[in-house]
């Protein structure tokens, strides 16, 4: 890169400028190109505009949504199910994981059961959730917790398997009691694994919350989309899709932020390689 | 560990659960939990008769078609994007946004654009499964050792040969990780798309049985979907072990 001590040639300077501004410029260009393509598809009627309205109509609807109480209530419902689902499954996964992980017999005995139950797609349980809870938040929570519990549990088990025997023995030699060992040895080893699980669980939970709302009709963004479809309002459907995408990005950045803050001491963050 | 101990560990808890289930249903009647014998009876009667051809096979072929297309598209596009920097800069932010959309919300749009048919479901599966594979391929390709790259250039490998013998093998551990993620996603979307908008398929009938409050029949659908999920993950793990055997060996050596 440009080193001020050496008088850089114009070409080298241009190159370093390109390295700095290129990603942002081209990234913006990519978005604009996508919007342009979308506009063209609807202006030239390649796709029926009733099915694919022009971007302007969609963004108008997107902005208008912010003035409606219904929209905020629906977003609130989706986020509440998401948050409760992630919190409950994390707590449950952590407790069960630590109990199973602390005993080799338990790890071996539960292995086959966990490996069998884990790949069962949570959405397959939607019918039974609908039957048990109806169109209420319980349905969403049951599906989200079923999916996210396994994700967290597996990560906790990996984390415990990764515990350093020497560190544990050292802690014992230093006469640390159990709470201290948990605080200074087990927890720091576990945390990076837990964070990976949490990030994955957060994404999955949002997809599942919206799926359940769509199929069972629990209140939330998924249900709003189903309503928009019944009303035949294409701009409303597209606007909600953009909303959900932004929500997804917000959740992603939130999880990355939490990860950076809690793991500031860990190699993966200190090394500058954001995981 | 003796073989007996191993089987004990493997079957212990599953057998206990099965026994608890049998005892529970024979002593008490719970509306939501069918007896094991009844469930198995329904399971074979429903899914291994005409419905095997009219519903199970279509579901599976949609799933596999979607997955296959995602793998091909994901690796091809991912390799190009990872290899050419300006293309990567151009598409990365856009892809990050599209990927963040929870894909099931796209079902209503695809219904409008394509209609209720197989291609809508396959499109939906591809649209969501392609991202883990694509972005993992990009990450794998961009993290290739520069010395290796330059060596390949110096010994005069053509672009195609470099792809074939350097880039794709070097990125394959990460590509496999991406495919593994998309397996679960594909199954989710197959089920949801069939539940929301379909006239056939395992997902359609499972939700249909629920609407008719046919409890044992509904559970048989859930059981079948579970078996498909487990089979898919077992087959994939076997595949991964074969394809990445060299990589596992390398890792073991490094750890020595």
List chain B domain ranges.
36-255
Predicted pLDDT of residue A274: 43
Question: What number is the average pLDDT over the span A178-203?
Answer: 85
Please choose, from the candidates A50, A38, A45, the residue with its C-alpha nearest in 3D space to the C-alpha of residue A232.
A50
Taking 70 as the pLDDT cut, the residues of chain B under it are 1, 254-256
Note the helical H segments in chain B: 3-27, 36-47, 50-51, 57-83, 85-100, 107-113, 118-142, 146-154, 159-162, 168-196, 202-211, 215-243, 245-255
Beta carbons of A120 and B225 less than 8 Å apart? yes
Contact residues, chain B, for A207 at CB < 8 Å? 102-104, 188
Write the residue in A124, A222, A234 that is nearest to B191 by C-beta. Answer: A124
**Predicted local confidence at residue A270, as pLDDT:** 67
Does the beta carbon of A51 lie under 8 angstroms from any beta carbon of chain B?
yes
B229: closest CA among B175, B196, B176, B189? Answer: B189
pLDDT at A275 over 50: no
Tell which CATH classification among 3.40.50.300, 1.10.10.10, 1.10.10.60, 1.10.3720.10 matches the domain B36-255.
Answer: 1.10.3720.10
User: Rounded to the nearest 5 degrees, what angle is found at the Cα of B222, between the Cα atoms of B219 and B226?
Assistant: 135
Domain that holds residue A158: 81-270
pLDDT of residue B214: 79
pLDDT digits (tens, 9 = 90+) for B216-246: 888 888 888 888 888 888 898 888 888 887 7
Mutate to test the interface with B, among A207, A253, A271 (most CBs of B within 10 A): A207
User: Which residue is it, tokens 């809690």?
Assistant: A262
Least confident of A40-49, A141-150, A197-206: A40-49
- Among chain B residues, the shortest Cα distance to A110 is held by B13
Say how far apart CA A273 and CA A270 lie, in whole Å: 8
Nearest beta carbon to residue A121 from set B107, B188, B196 = B188
Residue contact A127–B206, C-beta within 8 A = yes
Helices marked H in A44-68: 55-65
Q: Does A236 touch chain B (CB under 8 A)?
A: no
Q: Kindly indicate whether the ipTM for this predicted assembly is greater than 0.90, answering yes or no.
A: no
Length of chain A: 275
Report the C-alpha gap between A43 and A106 in whole angstroms. 63
Q: What is the CATH number of the domain that holds A146?
A: 1.10.3720.10
Domain annotation covers residue A198: yes
Residue A101 in any domain: the answer is yes
Residue A10 lies in a domain: no
- Provide the chain A residues 135-164 that lie in CB contact (below 8 A) with chain B: none
Tell me if A139 is assigned to some domain: yes
What pLDDT does residue A142 have?
92
Flag whether A199 is in a domain. yes
Predicted local distance difference test score (pLDDT) of residue B112: 81
Q: What pLDDT, on the 0 to 100 scale, is given for residue A152?
A: 92
Residue A100's pLDDT is 87
The number of domains in chain A is: 1
Q: Which residues of chain B lie closer than 8 angstroms to A249, CB-CB?
A: 96-97, 100
Return the SS3 of B181: helix
What pLDDT is attached to residue A3?
53
Q: Which residues in A lie closer than 8 A to residue B225 (C-beta atoms)?
A: 120-121, 124
Residue A74 lies in a domain: no
B158 phi, psi to nearest 5 deg = -75, 165
Residue B128 or residue A50, greater confidence = B128
A238 at interface of B, judged by CB pairs closer than 8 A: yes
Print the SS3 string covering B58-119.
HHHHHHHHHHHHHHHHHHHHHHHHHHCHHHHHHHHHHHHHHHHCCHHHHHHHHHHHCCCCHH
The answer to whether the CB atoms of B89 and A22 lie below 8 A apart is yes
Residue B1's pLDDT is 62
CA A214/CA A218 separation, integer angstroms: 8
List of chain A residues whose C-beta atoms are within 8 Å of the C-beta of residue B90: 26-27, 29-30, 33
Name chain B contacts of A30, Cβ cutoff 8 Å. 90-94
User: Closest to A51 (Cβ–Cβ): which among B103, B112, B232?
Assistant: B112
Phi/psi at A187 (nearest 5 deg)? -60, -45
**How does pLDDT run across A132-182, given as a tens digit for each residue?**
888 888 889 999 999 999 999 988 988 888 887 888 888 889 888 888 888
Residue A272 has pLDDT above 70, yes or no: no
Contact A241 B105 (CB under 8 A): yes
* pLDDT tens readout for residues A97-136: 888 887 788 888 888 888 888 888 888 888 888 888 888 8
């Amino acid at each position: 890169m440009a080193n001020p001590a050496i008088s850089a040639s114009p070409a080298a300077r241009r190159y370093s400028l390109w390295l700095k501004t290129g990603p942002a410029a081209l990234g913006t260009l990519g978005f604009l190109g996508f919007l342009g393509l979308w506009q063209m598809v609807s202006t030239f009627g390649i796709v029926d505009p009733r099915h694919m309205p022009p971007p302007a109509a969609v963004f108008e609807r997107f902005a208008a949504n912010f003035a409606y109480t219904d929209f905020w209530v629906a977003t609130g419902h989706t986020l509440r199910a998401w948050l409760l689902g992630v919190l409950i499954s994390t707590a449950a996964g952590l407790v069960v994981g630590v109990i199973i992980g602390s005993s080799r017999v338990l790890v071996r005995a539960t292995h086959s059961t966990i490996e069998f139950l884990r790949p069962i797609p949570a959405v397959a349980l939607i019918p039974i959730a609908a039957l048990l809870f109806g169109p209420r938040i319980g349905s969403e929570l049951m599906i989200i917790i079923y999916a996210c519990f396994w994700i967290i549990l597996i990560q906790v088990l990996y984390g415990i398997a990764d515990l350093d025997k020497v560190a544990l023995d050292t802690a014992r030699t230093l006469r640390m009691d159990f709470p201290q060992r948990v605080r200074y040895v087990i927890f720091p080893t576990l945390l990076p694994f837990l964070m990976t699980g949490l990030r994955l669980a957060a994404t999955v939970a949002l997809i599942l919350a919206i799926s359940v709302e769509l199929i069972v009709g629990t209140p939330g963004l998924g249900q709003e989309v189903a309503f928009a479809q019944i009303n035949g309002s294409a701009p409303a459907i597209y606007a909600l899709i953009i909303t959900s995408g932004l929500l997804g990005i917000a959740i992603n950045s939130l999880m990355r932020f939490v990860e950076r803050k809690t793991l500031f001491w860990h190699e993966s963050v200190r090394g500058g390689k954001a995981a | 560990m003796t073989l007996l101990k191993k089987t004990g560990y493997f079957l212990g808890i599953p057998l206990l659960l099965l026994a608890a289930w049998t005892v529970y249903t024979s002593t008490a009647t719970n509306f939501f939990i069918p007896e094991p014998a009844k469930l198995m009876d329904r399971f074979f009667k429903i899914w291994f008769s005409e419905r095997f051809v009219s519903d199970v096979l279509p579901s599976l072929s949609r799933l596999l078609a979607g997955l296959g297309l995602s793998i091909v598209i994901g690796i091809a596009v991912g390799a190009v994007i990872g290899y050419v920097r300006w293309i990567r800069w151009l598409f990365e932010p856009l892809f990050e946004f599209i990927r963040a959309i929870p894909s099931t919300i796209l079902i209503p749009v695809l219904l409008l654009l394509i209609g209720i048919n197989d291609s809508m479901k396959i499109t939906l599966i591809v649209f969501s499964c392609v991202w883990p594979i694509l972005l993992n391929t990009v990450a794998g390709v961009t993290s290739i050792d520069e010395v290796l790259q330059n060596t390949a250039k110096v010994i005069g490998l053509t672009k195609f040969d470099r792809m074939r013998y350097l880039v794709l093998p070097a990125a394959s551990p990460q590509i496999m990780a991406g495919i593994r993620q998309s397996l679960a996603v594909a199954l989710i979307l197959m089920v949801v798309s069939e539940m929301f908008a379909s006239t056939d398929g395992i997902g359609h009938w499972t939700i249909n049985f629920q609407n008719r409050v046919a409890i044992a029949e509904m559970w048989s659908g859930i059981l079948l979907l579970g078996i498909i999920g487990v089979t898919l993950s077992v087959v994939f793990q076997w595949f991964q072990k074969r394809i990445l055997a060299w990589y596992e060996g390398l890792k073991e050596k490094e750890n020595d």
